[in-house]
A and B are shown apart, each in its own frame.
Chain A
Amino acid sequence: MKFTTTLLATSALIGAGTFAFADAHGNMANEMTLVSWGGAYQASQDKAYLQPYLENNPGVTGVWDESSNEAVAKLRAMNEAGNITWDLVDVVAADAIRLCDEGLAMEIDADEMLADAPDGTPASEDFGDLLVSDCFIPQIVYSTTFGYRTDMVGDTPPTKICDVFDLEAYPGKRALEKRPINNMEWALLCDGVAKDEVYDVLATPEGQEKALAKLDTIKDNVIWWSAGADTPQLLADGEVVMGSTYNGRLFSVIEEQKQPVAMLWDAQVFDLDGWIIPAGLPADRLARVKDFVKFATDTQRLADQSQYISYGPARLSSAPMVGKHADLGIDMAPHMPTDPKNATNTFLYNYEFWADYRDDIDAKFQAWLAQ
C-alpha cells in the first residue's frame, strides 16, 4: 500500500522524535487542551475517551476548546508565534493533510504510538487505508449525505442521488454545502458520468463546466449552508425538502428530535475525522498526549464512542463491538454510514484530488455562485 511505503520512508525521521519521548516518559504534563467541534460530537468524545482516561489518571486535567473549524488557521498563527497552546486537535482528514503539508502537525508512527487490536493486529493494519496522511490518527468514518422531509415528497420518496436534481418530481428547495467538494461529484454522477470516471472528468476544465452546468439547473432552488447545523434546522422548519449534511446530524433530527425526516444514503460521501498532534510540543506535554492518544484510539474506546453518536469507528476491530445508543437504547449499527444496507453506493472523499484542485475549483465555484 502507498501508506506503508510512506511510513517506511519517514520512519527514520520519527526515530529521532521517539527518544525525546523516552527521555521524558517519566515526566508527563498534567494538563491537556483538546480541541474539537463542540456539540454532540465533542460530548461523545468526552464521554468515551476523556472521562475514562481521567478516571485512570487522577491528577490529570483535560480542557476542551471548541475551535476545530478554524484549527488550521489558528495552528499556523500559534506556530508562527512559537507558542502552541493546544495538545491534541480534532480535524477532518483534508485539514490533517494540509496541516501535515504545512509542517504544523507532527508525523506519527501508527504501530509505535497506537494500541494494537485485541487480537494483536498492528494498528497500521487495523486502521488500514484510513491512515490517509502521515500525521493523521483516524477516529471515525462519517458521511455527507442527504436527508428529506417525508411529508413533502408525496408517495414516492427519493431513493437516488439524482432525485436531488429532479425539480419536477420533488419541487421545493434543497440545502447544499457552500463549497464545490461533494456537490461537483454528485452533479457529474447525475449528468451521466460513470462513478469511476468522476475525478478524471472533474480534473478537466470542461468537466468542471459540465458539473456547474448541472448545478445550474437547480441553482435557484438551493439554499447554501456553511455550518453543519444549518440543514437539520432547515429540514425541521420545512424550509427545504431535502438537504445534504453529516449523517450524525440527520440521526439526531430523526431519532432524537423525531422530526419527519428520512435518510437518502445513495451516493453518500465517506470522510474521516481524527486527531493530529501539533508539531513542536514540549517533551512533557507530548508524552502526556501520546499516552492519551494510545488509550483514546484503542479498539474499545472507538467502539464506545458509537454509543453516543452515529459515526462509524475507524478501526476494523471496533466494528463488531458497536452496540446500542446510550440514552435511546436503539441499535446503532443500522445508523452507521458503513452498515452494508446503507453503503450500497458510496463515494470516498478523494483527498489527493481535492488537495490539488481545491484552490482552482473553489475559485470557479465561487465565481459561479456570485453570478
Chain B
Amino acid sequence: MSDTVDATNTPGEKSGPVLAADGTPLKRSLRRALRRQKMSALLLIAPLLIFILITFIAPIADMLFRSVENEIVQDTLPRTTAILETWDSESGSIPDAPVFKALYQDIFIAQERKLHTRLGSRLNYELTGASSLFRKSGRGVGDIGEVYQDQFEDMNAFWKKGENWNDILGSDAWLAEIKSWKKSSGQAQPPFELRADIAEILPETAAFYKIFADFTQNEKNSNLYKKDPWELIYSSFYDDLTGANAARIDTYTGPGAAELSEAKTAAASFETVDYKVAFGDIDKDWVKMPIWDTIRAYSPRFTNGYFLNAVDMQKSEDGPELRPENQRIYYTLFMRTLFMSSVITISCILLGYPVGWILANLPARTANLLMILVLLPFWTSLLVRTSAWKVMLQQQGVVNDTLVWLGIVADDSRLALINNQTGTIIAMTHILLPFMILPLYSVMQTIPPSYLRAAKSLGATNWTAFWRVYFPQSVPGIGAGSILVFILSIGYYITPEIVGGTTGTFISNRIAYHISSSLNWGLAAALGAILLAVVLGLYYAYDKIVGIDNVKLGG
C-alpha cells in the first residue's frame, strides 16, 4: 500500500517530500495511520487469535511433540544412562559392574516413586518383555539393599532407627527445628538440611539421603525424623565406609561418632553384593544384550524411533532398517487410506454432481425441500447411520435378500458387501456426500442458465454445451467438495472400524488404537504427524496444479 502512495507521489516532486498538514512527510504520516489501523484490526481479532492458539494450535503442537520426545529413559535412569555412554555396545559384552550398581540405585529410587513400571511400558514398545522385567526388578531391588541393611542392624541396633540417621546426617539447626515440629500443628515440615562437611565424609550416603529426605517430606508428607531409611541408604553407606574416602570418617566428631567408627571397622568384613549377579538373579534378561542395547539406543532426550516405527522401520546396530515383513503394516495402511479416500471422493463427485445440478435448476421452493433431504443425515447420529448400513449390506441383509429374491444372485453365493473395502466405501460415500453436494450446489446456483441456452443457440450439442460451457464453471465447486471429502475421509475411523472388517480399515484406526488402547502416544503422534504432512503435501500439490483460488464454497 505504502509503495503505491510512494510511486504516485514522487514523479514531478523534485523539490522535496510532500508534507502532511502537521509538517511531517506525507509518506511517514500515511504509514503511521496505516499502522494504527492494522493494530486496531489486530486487537479486534486478538480474542479469536488467542482462542485458536490456545485451543487448537497448542494442543496439536503438544501432541505432535510427543512423536520425538523421549525424556522418560534419562529421567528415570539418570545414573545408568550417564555411565552407559562410555559402554561400547559393539563389543558384544554386557556392561560392567558400575553400570549395574547405577541401575540398582536408579531403579530403587524409581520404584519408590512408582516410575519404574512406566519406564517398563515405554521400553516394551521397543523390546518385548521390558514391561515385566522392570516390574520384577522393582520388587527385587529392595532385597539387594537388605543384605547390607541386615548386616548393619545385626551389628548394632543403633542403625535401625531413623532418628539416629537424622542425627548424623542432618544439620544441628534443622534437627532443633524438626524435633519441635508436630504434624498436627499444620505448619510445613522444616526442609531437611545436610550437616556441614558430612557430604565429604559420607558422600554417597549424603547424596541419597537427600533424595530420600526430599521424597519423604514432599511426596509422602511423612515426618522425616521418625522415618527409617531406605535399603538404598544402607548400601551406599557401606560403599562410603569401604570406599576411597573412608579415612575421613575418623575426622567426624558429631553425634554417633562412636557407632560410625565401629561400623567402619565392621564393614570391612561384611558380606558384599555383586550387583551384576543380583540383577541376573532377578531376571536373566539383565545379563543379556537386548535390554542394554535398547536402553542405550533410547537414552537420548529425543528419538526418531517413533517415526521409524511409523514407516515400518526399526533401529538396529547399523542404523535404521526395515522391519521383518510380518511386522510391516503402516505403509500398507497409509497407501490404503489414500487410495480409499480417493475412491470415496470420486464416488461422491459422481453421485453428488447430478444432485447439485438438479437442486440448482429447480424452483427455489422445491430446491429447499430437497435440500432438507440432503441435510437430513446430518441430524442422525453417525453411529446409527453406520449401523444401519450393516443391516442393509450384511449377507442376510436387505440388499442381499432383495437380490436373492429377484434371482440375481444365488442363495448360497450371497455378495460380501460389508466387513471389507466395499462396505467402507459405500458407507463413507453416503456419510460424506452432503459435503460434496453443498459446495457444488452453491457454485452451480451462480452459473446463469442463459449461458447454456446461448451455447445451444450457437449450435452446440447438449454434450458440448455442458462439457465446454457449464462444466468448467462448476469446477471450483468440485474442487472445494473434493478437498472437504478427501480430508475428512482420511481422518475417519468410526465408520471403517464398524464396517471395514480387515481390508477396509484406515490408518486412523491404528492411531485410535495406539491412543486409547496400547497407550503408545508417541507412535500415535508420529503417525498423526505423517498423516498431517501428507495432507499438507497434497494440498500444496492441488494448489500448484489446479490453484487454490479456483476453489469456491459458495457463489
Q: Could you list which residues of chain A lie within 8 angstroms of chain B, going by C-beta atoms?
A: 5-6, 9, 13, 16, 20, 69-70, 72-73, 76, 98, 100-103, 173, 178, 209, 212, 223-224, 226, 237-239, 352, 355-360, 362-364, 366-370
Contacts and interface: CB of A to CB of B under 8 A. Distances in A.
A72 B121 CA distance: 13
A358 B120 CA distance: 13
Interface stretch (B122-130, B147-155, B242-250, B370-378): B122-130
A173 B135 CA distance: 41
Contacts of B115: 103
A370 B329 CA distance: 7
B519 A369 contact: no
Contact of A357 (B128, B220, B502, B505): B128
B132 A356 contact: yes
B516 A237 contact: no
A98 B519 contact: yes
Contacts of B395: 173, 239
Given A103-B114, A103-B117, 14 more contacts: A6-B139, A9-B139, A72-B516, A76-B519, A76-B521, A101-B117, A103-B115, A355-B124, A355-B135, A358-B518, A359-B124, A363-B329, A366-B329, A367-B329
Interface in B485-524: 497, 501-503, 505, 510, 515-521
B81 interface: no
A224 B139 contact: no
Q: Which 4 A-B pairs have the closest CB atoms?
A: A101-B117, A73-B516, A360-B128, A367-B329
B222 to A, nearest CB: 5
10 contacts: A5-B139, A9-B139, A16-B222, A72-B517, A73-B515, A73-B519, A100-B117, A101-B120, A224-B502, A367-B328
Contact of A359 (B220, B328, B520): B520
Interface string B425-449: 0000000000000000000000000
B135 A101 contact: yes
B129 A356 contact: yes
Contacts of A5: 139
Contacts of A369: 502
Contacts of A360: 128
Interface in B295-348: 326-329, 332-333, 336
Contact of A16 (B129, B221, B397, B503): B221
Given A72-B516, A239-B394, A360-B128, A370 B419 contact: no
B396 interface: yes
B473 interface: no
B118 interface: yes
A21 to B, nearest CB: 13
A102 B519 CA distance: 10
Nearest to A70: B516
A102 B119 CA distance: 8
Given A73-B516, A102-B118, A239-B396, A9 B142 contact: yes
Interface of B: 112, 114-115, 117-118, 120-121, 124-125, 128-132, 135, 139, 142, 220-222, 326-329, 332-333, 336, 394-397, 419, 497, 501-503, 505, 510, 515-521
Contacts of B120: 101
Contacts of B128: 356-357, 359-360
Contacts of A238: 396
A98 B517 CA distance: 10
Nearest to B523: A359
A16 B221 CA distance: 8
A243 to B, nearest CB: 13
Nearest to A351: B132
B448 to A, nearest CB: 50
Contacts of A209: 326
A366 B117 CA distance: 26
A102 B124 contact: no
A251 to B, nearest CB: 23
Contact of A223 (B125, B220, B329, B419): B419
B118 A101 contact: yes
B517 A366 contact: no
B121 A367 contact: no
Nearest to B112: A13
B184 to A, nearest CB: 10
Contacts of B131: 101, 355-356
Contact of A370 (B221, B333, B517, B519): B333
Contacts of A367: 326-329, 332
Contacts of B132: 352, 355-356
A283 to B, nearest CB: 11
Nearest to B221: A16
Contacts of B419: 223-224
B491 to A, nearest CB: 17
A76 B520 CA distance: 12
A102 B117 contact: yes
A5 B143 CA distance: 12
A217 B47 CA distance: 60
Nearest to B120: A101
A9 B111 CA distance: 11
Contacts of B396: 237-239
A50 B326 CA distance: 48
A224 B509 CA distance: 14
Contacts of B221: 16, 20
The residue in A73, A76, A98, A368 that gathers the most chain B C-beta atoms within 10 A of its C-beta is A73
Nearest to B119: A101
A223 B139 CA distance: 42
Contacts of B129: 356-357
Contacts of A362: 518
A100 B134 CA distance: 13
A237 B394 contact: yes
Nearest to B524: A73
B216 to A, nearest CB: 9
Contacts of A73: 515-517, 519
B497 to A, nearest CB: 6
B394 A364 contact: no
Nearest to B391: A237
A26 to B, nearest CB: 15
Nearest to B505: A370
Given A101-B135, A356-B128, A359-B518, A364 B327 contact: yes
A368 B516 contact: no
A133 B139 CA distance: 13
A238 B120 CA distance: 45
The residue in B131, B132, B510 that gathers the most chain A C-beta atoms within 10 A of its C-beta is B131
A306 to B, nearest CB: 29
A335 to B, nearest CB: 27
Given A101-B120, A239-B394, A72 B142 contact: no
Nearest to B228: A12
The residue in B326, B505, B520, B521 that gathers the most chain A C-beta atoms within 10 A of its C-beta is B326
Given A101-B131, A356-B129, A368 B114 contact: no
A178 B120 CA distance: 26
